[in-house]
A and B are shown apart, each in its own frame.
Chain A
Amino acid sequence: MKRFPLLLLLLILLLILLLVASCGNISSALKDKNNQNNNMKVQVKGNTPVEISITWWGGQERHERTLSVIDLFEKKYPYIKIRPIHQNFEGYFEQLSTQFNAGTAPDIIQFGGNLNDYVYRGAVLPLNDYVGNVLDISLHDQSMVNAAVMGSNFYGVALGTNAWGVLLNKAMFEEARIPLPSENWTWKEFIEISIQLSDSLESVYGTEYFDHNGFGIFIDQRGKIMHQNGVLGISYDDVLEWFQLWETLREKGGVLPPEIQVSSTSTPEKSLIALGKVAMTLLPSNLYGAYSSISEDEFVFHPHPMHEGRSGVSLRPSQFLAGNANTNHPKEVAMFLDFIVNDKEAVTILGNDRGTPVNTEIREYLYSRADENDRTIFTYIDWVSTTSDSYYVPNLPGYNETSALFLRISEEISFQRKTVEEGAAEYWEQLQLVLSHYRNGN
């Protein structure tokens, strides 16, 4: 009996404890609610969420493939969110330059042969600290690694290897009753075939203009090197002959008239060959898959016309993926770069769209299960590597300016606003000026 108050006290204590505990629950529930309202950003414990943006150019197929890879990456690293910005090639680098100036450039950027431009202006993230730990390049082709080494720094992963070639619309050749050219066709044959195609087919032209990319091959075929670190290896005559070649072809109607040529785009589904306006176009090997999948007509990927037995085509990195020097998340950038070139599943998704994979192990794996389009590309890459002794020359420094200059001059000539000589002279003069700026570090 004497224990009774003690027991009661204990029970009351227990009740109070329960109440307090539940009050704790209540307040924590409230806190949770507040937290939910305030910190809904926090999704995963441990790693603070990171958002990085990535930009690239390309057609619909590349966008889809890249988005799948991004999904895959986000699943593997749930705390990283990737914001994709994809666009067409036209205007891509102009926009990128504006974004760098405005400080709004994405964290991961797809570059072309102009990676050097952005490295020189300090816009590209050196990856040295991440190579070997986050970013594995041990299985990559040495030449592709070297292509991204400038000074003592490694700047980006090559997304693939490609080589220029000519895309032929086989159906149009058949319709025009022209046999497909041989592997070792010459410029002369190319010109003849173009003219024949234009003549035989209604509102279809033989070939597109080969623009500055074709000019690079043209130079190589003459055994010259376009430039070495911005020092030109060509002469005024080379320029003149290039423009002369195309002006001749234009006069004979083999090439697209300038009014149509201006709408030419490298976005596969909007390209003139896909729209059936032209039968031949200059194309990097990696895009063959994208082009052949969007047209009903059968496309053939063919070697570039030769000059004295030299194709002038080299194996080159199709694109680089590199980081923005000002990114807030360099490690995550490196992780994504590693993922996109070394993850088997990711590379399988990308396939040849950005060029033949540079990771040798995965390339062999892909080769073993390649479809017809892929096999064509692999075969062509093989053919180039065994037959061509041309080597990779990066874009001219100041790519935006030099390519715009080249386009402007080409158009001015084709629109008859300048003669070939005037155009070539202006190009030669302006090119020197632009390059001198870059050589002086501007």
Chain B
Amino acid sequence: MFRKLKSIIVISYLAVTVLFFSSFSIITYKIFFDYTREEISEARLTGINESMSRISSFTTSVRDSGIYFVTNRNVIQTFSHQNVSTYESIVEQRTLTDLMNDIASFKRGIHSIELYTDRYNHYPNVAGSRVYSTQLIEEEPWFEFINKSNYGWIPKHESPSTKEFVVSYYHHVTNPRGITVGYVKVNVLADTFLESMYERNFADNIDEPLLLFDSNRRIIGHTNTSESHEVINQLITYESNGEYGMLSEEYVNQFNQYDILEEKDNKYMLVISKANEDQWRLVHLVPIDSLYSESRKLGVIVFFLGITSLLLLIPISYFVGRSLLQPINKIIQGMQEVEKGNFDVRVKPHYIDEYKTMANNFNRMTFQLDQSLKDLKRENRLKREAELRTLQNQIVPHFLYNTLDMIHWKAMDYQAEDISFMVNQLSKMYRIGVSGGQSFIPLRDELEHVKCYINLQKVRMHADIKYDVRIPATIKEAFVPKVILQPFVENSIKHGFLRDIENPIHIRILATCSEDYLEIKIIDNGTGLPNGWKIEDSKGIGIKNIKERIWIYCGTNYGVDLFNGDDGGTIVYMKLPMIKNREQLKNFLNED
């Protein structure tokens, strides 16, 4: 199965495509992923810096409200008075409250402004007053911050007055002599404050903790920081009293950058904003998973696209493989046909050049094979026929030979010399004709065969037949196919001479030779060939038989032809291979 060309092609095609496609996808995805990571990180950093600047403008506004209050001439004036009456204290508290409410009213985002002072500890509380006793906050964990510095921020805490969660700006209130007489506290609802930290609805990303640190690295506000975000502990340390978290030492000097944090199996992107004028910074933790969910989605898309393409590729490659191999299969089928012996097979030419050549060559090959085979068959048939005929010729003369021998001796008994001579000649003729079944006989014997025939004819016709042989003795030893001369002589005598003509019949046989072939000419002085006669027209089987035998035994290079001589008469021209001796005859026959 797998050794089939088609399978190999399909599999290699698939393998190459899969390899290419998967590496292409992976590389593309990787590049894209890196790119988006960079982009997302930068975008997040930009986003958080924007948030930071929003916070800055918001906190500035909050701080300004506090500063406005403590620098207000009336406030300072109020605190310069000593020993006020109950009624005056009430009026003062109302005035201060009104002022604070007014500021809070027109500053967006400020929830309330409160004043903590011991000035009115021994006076009645006024309904709706924003003036409270310091005692209310002295126990609060954040009171030490207020004590430590003149102004600053209090992280998210529960307001002691309204029980709401607020982030506050505080500022010391001093009397004209510069002594702290109270603290103004500008409250921003923690939610409002956090809202200022991001764009609207940003809070929906509940999985993304956001922390705001002040210049003392203290957490001012945070959101989305559930218990599950243990990663936050990497960022935060707690002061000795343990109430408020602070940014760890290692991050003290880190601003405007991003990094990757790992907590157990989860990875987080840590984004730290630029520092604002107050050296605050916003820290954002984004779970990598959610961050790259889009990229992941893309990965999935690419993956499925790849799979789909591959699924599509299987039929395609199968189809391509099949299409490419179809012509080969056709040729293979053709060859199988040829193998079975059907040479009529022809393959349709294909539009691909190589296949076209292949098909043409195949077709030419089968055509030629067909031709050669037909030729071979014909030759074989002829050879067999000739052999058969020779055999037949052999059997009859043998019997005749014995009979003739017997007649010869009987004639000797009766002293009939002429009969004895004729029978002797005839017997000699047949003996040579049979020649022990040899196909080739020396030229000398062949000439003797002719001579016997002529002698017989002389007796039969009572005519003088002149018979000349002009052949060098060496040539007479050469081997030639047997009984090739006599039929021509017979023809010459039979057809070449009119019976009543006195002109004696003269037959000459000449032979010359070169290294390769032997030429024999039989020349008579008869009437010659009829006009337009050709050897193919010969009706007698004798001449045709000779020609075929020469072809069969010696090849088509050799042969025989007849034409009229210049001085009348017929010339038989014969071209034969030069076989000088028995040795050469053996070689010659084996070559075939």
- In the bound complex, residues from chain A placing their C-beta under 8 Å from that of B101 are 91, 94-95, 98
Asked whether, in the complex, the Cβ of B309 is within 8 Å of the Cβ of A15, the reply is yes
Chain A min CB distance to B378 (Å): 39
- In the bound complex, residues from chain A placing their C-beta under 8 Å from that of B204 are 40
Interface string of A76-96 (1 = CB under 8 A from B): 000000000000111100111
Q: How far is the CA of A393 from the CA of B316 in the complex (A)?
A: 92
Asked whether, in the complex, the Cβ of B308 is within 8 Å of the Cβ of A260, the reply is no
CB-CB under 8 A for A264 and B127, given A22-B305, A94-B101, A415-B86: yes
Chain B min CB distance to A276 (Å): 16
Which of B194-202, B253-261, B474-482, B549-557 lies at the interface with chain A?
A: B194-202
In the assembled complex, B437 has its CB within 8 A of some CB on chain A: no
Interface string of A6-36 (1 = CB under 8 A from B): 0110010011001100100110011011000
Q: How far is the CA of A49 from the CA of B323 in the complex (A)?
A: 62
Q: B85-104: which have CB < 8 Å to A?
A: 85-87, 90, 97-98, 101-102, 104
Q: How far is the CA of A259 from the CA of B90 in the complex (A)?
A: 9
Asked whether, in the complex, the Cβ of B350 is within 8 Å of the Cβ of A22, the reply is no
Asked whether, in the complex, the Cβ of A26 is within 8 Å of the Cβ of B298, the reply is yes
In the assembled complex, B108 has its CB within 8 A of some CB on chain A: yes
- In the bound complex, residues from chain B placing their C-beta under 8 Å from that of A22 are 301-302, 305
In the assembled complex, A343 has its CB within 8 A of some CB on chain B: no
In the assembled complex, A412 has its CB within 8 A of some CB on chain B: yes
Contact size range, A: 35 or more
Asked whether, in the complex, the Cβ of B298 is within 8 Å of the Cβ of A262, the reply is no
Chain B min CB distance to A8 (Å): 7
CB-CB under 8 A for A40 and B202, given A91-B98, A94-B98: yes
- In the bound complex, residues from chain A placing their C-beta under 8 Å from that of B108 are 104
In the assembled complex, B160 has its CB within 8 A of some CB on chain A: no
Asked whether, in the complex, the Cβ of A26 is within 8 Å of the Cβ of B127, the reply is no
- In the bound complex, residues from chain B placing their C-beta under 8 Å from that of A45 are none
In the assembled complex, B43 has its CB within 8 A of some CB on chain A: yes
In the assembled complex, A379 has its CB within 8 A of some CB on chain B: no
Asked whether, in the complex, the Cβ of A8 is within 8 Å of the Cβ of B320, the reply is yes
Q: How far is the CA of A94 from the CA of B130 in the complex (A)?
A: 14
Interface string of B436-447 (1 = CB under 8 A from A): 000000000000
Asked whether, in the complex, the Cβ of A2 is within 8 Å of the Cβ of B90, the reply is no
Interface string of B114-131 (1 = CB under 8 A from A): 000000000111111100
Chain B min CB distance to A285 (Å): 22
- In the bound complex, residues from chain B placing their C-beta under 8 Å from that of A88 are 128
Please give me the residue from chain A that is nearest to B305 by CB atom: A22
In the assembled complex, B74 has its CB within 8 A of some CB on chain A: no
Of A7, A41, A94, which one neighbours B102 at CB under 8 angstroms? A94
In the assembled complex, A99 has its CB within 8 A of some CB on chain B: yes
In the assembled complex, A142 has its CB within 8 A of some CB on chain B: no
Chain A min CB distance to B408 (Å): 82
In the assembled complex, A263 has its CB within 8 A of some CB on chain B: yes
Asked whether, in the complex, the Cβ of A1 is within 8 Å of the Cβ of B351, the reply is yes
- In the bound complex, residues from chain B placing their C-beta under 8 Å from that of A263 are 124-127, 129
In the assembled complex, A101 has its CB within 8 A of some CB on chain B: yes
Chain A min CB distance to B513 (Å): 64
Asked whether, in the complex, the Cβ of B127 is within 8 Å of the Cβ of A90, the reply is yes
Chain A min CB distance to B108 (Å): 6
In the assembled complex, A417 has its CB within 8 A of some CB on chain B: yes
Of B125, B202, B301, which one neighbours A26 at CB under 8 angstroms? B301
Asked whether, in the complex, the Cβ of B309 is within 8 Å of the Cβ of A18, the reply is yes
Of B105, B200, B305, which one neighbours A99 at CB under 8 angstroms? B105
Q: A382-401: which have CB < 8 Å to B?
A: none
Q: How far is the CA of A26 from the CA of B302 in the complex (A)?
A: 9
- In the bound complex, residues from chain B placing their C-beta under 8 Å from that of A30 are 294
In the assembled complex, A117 has its CB within 8 A of some CB on chain B: no
Please give me the residue from chain B that is nearest to A99 by CB atom: B105
CB-CB under 8 A for A8 and B200, given A98-B106, A417-B87: no
Please give me the residue from chain B that is nearest to A265 by CB atom: B127
Chain A min CB distance to B368 (Å): 27
In the assembled complex, B177 has its CB within 8 A of some CB on chain A: no
In the assembled complex, B435 has its CB within 8 A of some CB on chain A: no
Asked whether, in the complex, the Cβ of A415 is within 8 Å of the Cβ of B87, the reply is yes
Asked whether, in the complex, the Cβ of A14 is within 8 Å of the Cβ of B312, the reply is yes
In the assembled complex, B326 has its CB within 8 A of some CB on chain A: yes
- In the bound complex, residues from chain A placing their C-beta under 8 Å from that of B90 are 262, 411, 415
Q: How far is the CA of A18 from the CA of B320 in the complex (A)?
A: 20
- In the bound complex, residues from chain B placing their C-beta under 8 Å from that of A133 are none
In the assembled complex, B20 has its CB within 8 A of some CB on chain A: no
Q: A252-287: which have CB < 8 Å to B?
A: 258-260, 262-265, 270
Most chain A CB within 10 A, of B47, B105, B301, B305, is at B105
- In the bound complex, residues from chain A placing their C-beta under 8 Å from that of B85 are 415
Please give me the residue from chain A that is nearest to B202 by CB atom: A40
In the assembled complex, B68 has its CB within 8 A of some CB on chain A: no
In the assembled complex, B297 has its CB within 8 A of some CB on chain A: yes
In the assembled complex, B143 has its CB within 8 A of some CB on chain A: no
Asked whether, in the complex, the Cβ of B124 is within 8 Å of the Cβ of A259, the reply is yes
Of A18, A41, A96, which one neighbours B201 at CB under 8 angstroms? A41
In the assembled complex, B399 has its CB within 8 A of some CB on chain A: no
Q: How far is the CA of A386 from the CA of B305 in the complex (A)?
A: 81
Q: B266-318: which have CB < 8 Å to A?
A: 294, 297-298, 301-302, 305, 308-309, 312, 316
Asked whether, in the complex, the Cβ of A1 is within 8 Å of the Cβ of B326, the reply is yes
Q: A358-399: which have CB < 8 Å to B?
A: none
Q: How far is the CA of A8 from the CA of B102 in the complex (A)?
A: 80
Asked whether, in the complex, the Cβ of A29 is within 8 Å of the Cβ of B106, the reply is no
- In the bound complex, residues from chain B placing their C-beta under 8 Å from that of A14 are 312
Interface string of B169-204 (1 = CB under 8 A from A): 000000000000000000000000000000111101
Q: How far is the CA of A102 from the CA of B101 in the complex (A)?
A: 13
Asked whether, in the complex, the Cβ of B323 is within 8 Å of the Cβ of A4, the reply is yes
In the assembled complex, B319 has its CB within 8 A of some CB on chain A: yes
Asked whether, in the complex, the Cβ of B319 is within 8 Å of the Cβ of A262, the reply is no
Asked whether, in the complex, the Cβ of B319 is within 8 Å of the Cβ of A29, the reply is no
Please give me the residue from chain B that is nearest to A85 by CB atom: B111
- In the bound complex, residues from chain B placing their C-beta under 8 Å from that of A262 are 90, 124-127
Q: How far is the CA of A11 from the CA of B105 in the complex (A)?
A: 70
- In the bound complex, residues from chain A placing their C-beta under 8 Å from that of B106 are 98-99, 101-102, 104
Of B97, B200, B298, B308, which one neighbours A41 at CB under 8 angstroms? B200
Asked whether, in the complex, the Cβ of A40 is within 8 Å of the Cβ of B200, the reply is yes
In the assembled complex, A43 has its CB within 8 A of some CB on chain B: yes
Asked whether, in the complex, the Cβ of A104 is within 8 Å of the Cβ of B127, the reply is no
Q: How far is the CA of A95 from the CA of B113 in the complex (A)?
A: 12
Q: How far is the CA of A96 from the CA of B90 in the complex (A)?
A: 22
Asked whether, in the complex, the Cβ of B124 is within 8 Å of the Cβ of A40, the reply is no
Q: B53-98: which have CB < 8 Å to A?
A: 85-87, 90, 97-98
Please give me the residue from chain A that is nearest to B106 by CB atom: A102
Chain B min CB distance to A420 (Å): 16
Please give me the residue from chain B that is nearest to A98 by CB atom: B105
Interface string of B25-50 (1 = CB under 8 A from A): 00000000000000000010001000
Interface string of A387-429 (1 = CB under 8 A from B): 0000000000000000000000001100101000000000000
In the assembled complex, A37 has its CB within 8 A of some CB on chain B: yes
* Contacts A/B (CB < 8 Å), 27 sampled: A2-B351, A8-B316, A8-B319, A15-B309, A22-B302, A26-B298, A26-B301, A29-B298, A30-B294, A32-B294, A37-B47, A40-B204, A41-B201, A90-B128, A94-B105, A98-B105, A99-B105, A99-B106, A102-B106, A104-B106, A258-B87, A263-B126, A263-B127, A263-B129, A415-B86, A415-B87, A417-B87
Seen from chain B, the residues whose Cβ lies within 8 Å of a Cβ on chain A are 43, 47, 85-87, 90, 97-98, 101-102, 104-106, 108, 123-129, 199-202, 204, 294, 297-298, 301-302, 305, 308-309, 312, 316, 319-320, 323, 326, 350-351
- Known contacts A18-B305, A104-B105, A260-B124, then 16 further A-B pairs from the complex at CB < 8 Å, ordered by chain A residue: A1-B326, A4-B323, A7-B319, A11-B312, A22-B302, A26-B298, A29-B301, A40-B199, A91-B101, A96-B105, A258-B86, A259-B123, A263-B127, A265-B127, A265-B128, A415-B90
